[in-house]
Structure 1
Amino acid sequence: MKIVLSEDNEILRKSLSFFLTSKGFSVDQFSDGQEALEAIKQNSYDLILTDINMPGISGMEITQYVRKNISPDIPIIIFTSSGVEQTELDSFDIGANEFIAKPISPAVLLIRINKLLNIRL
């Protein structure tokens, strides 16, 4: 399973990438939203993980682009450090499948990924 991980916090991005790789996933990681979107346009991914606030373009913009131009079905999980309820509602309105507030528990993330990808543990 191939995942794109778009997160500008280097420590979080690298630790999540390491964790997911150790669980058998192939992870392409990006610190810039525009770079992540270019990779999404050029490659086929099974899942998109993106922070909401990214340099280049935001996770919301990535989600909107994917939903309108690539696939209505690819699972998308949005991360944010914002505790604002409206942000979460907006994420679902534009097509995100899951919304995870930071700090992110890798174990909880894995359960949500497996659920979205219909992977049995």
Structure 2
Amino acid sequence: MKVLIAEDDNLIRKTIEIKLAKEGYEVISCAEGASALDSIRSEQPDVVLTDIMLPAVSGLEIVSAVKQSEGKPIKVIVLSTMGQENIVEEAFKLGADDYMTKPFSLTELSIRVKKLLQSQ
């Protein structure tokens, strides 16, 4: 199973990447939105984890692009900081499958990824 991480914070991105790789996922890592969209098109991941605030292309734009694309369905988990409830609501309207507020537990993130993959 392939998981794409779109997160501009290097520490958060690397930490998630290490955790998911240890659990056997193939991990694609992107530091900004435009490269994430390119990788989503070329790699066709099973799950996308995206921060809301990204350089170039926002997490909301990623959610929208993923959910409007043809091809296999891709699950999306949005990662946001506190106080972005209106943005999270917008993400759900665009088709996000789940969201987590930063800071979050890596174990909980892993459980949510697994749960989404089982529901496909």
| Distance in structure 1 (CA, Å) of the matches to 2:90 and 2:39 | 24
TM-score by length of 2: 0.93
8 Å CA contact 1:60–1:94 kept in 2: the answer is: yes
Change in 2 beyond 3 A, CA 1:72/1:63: farther
Q: What's the counterpart of residue 16 of structure 2? A: 16
Specify the code of the residue in structure 1 equivalent to 2:96. A
The Cα offsets for residues 20-52 of structure 1, whole Å up to 9 and x where unpaired, read as 000111101010110010011112211101001
* 5+ residue gaps, structure 1: none
CA RMSD, 1 decimal: 1.5
Give the structure 1 partner of residue 93 of structure 2: 93
Alignment-derived partner of residue 57 in structure 2: 57
Q: How does 1:1-121 map to 2 (within 5 A)?
A: 1-71=1-71, 73-118=73-118
**CA distance 1:7–1:70, shift in 2 (3 Å):** farther
Q: Which runs of 5+ in 2 are unaligned?
A: none
TM-score under structure 1 normalisation?
Answer: 0.92
Deviation sequence 1:36-75 (CA, Å, 0-9, x none): 1001111221110100100110110011011112358311
Instruction: Provide the C-alpha distance between the structure 2 equivalents of 1:71 and 1:103, rounded to a whole number of angstroms.
Output: 32
- 1:45 alignment partner, SS class: coil
1:66 touches 1:72 (CA, 8 Å); kept in 2? Answer: no
Task: Give 1:85 shift.
Answer: 2.0
Percent identity between matched residues is 34
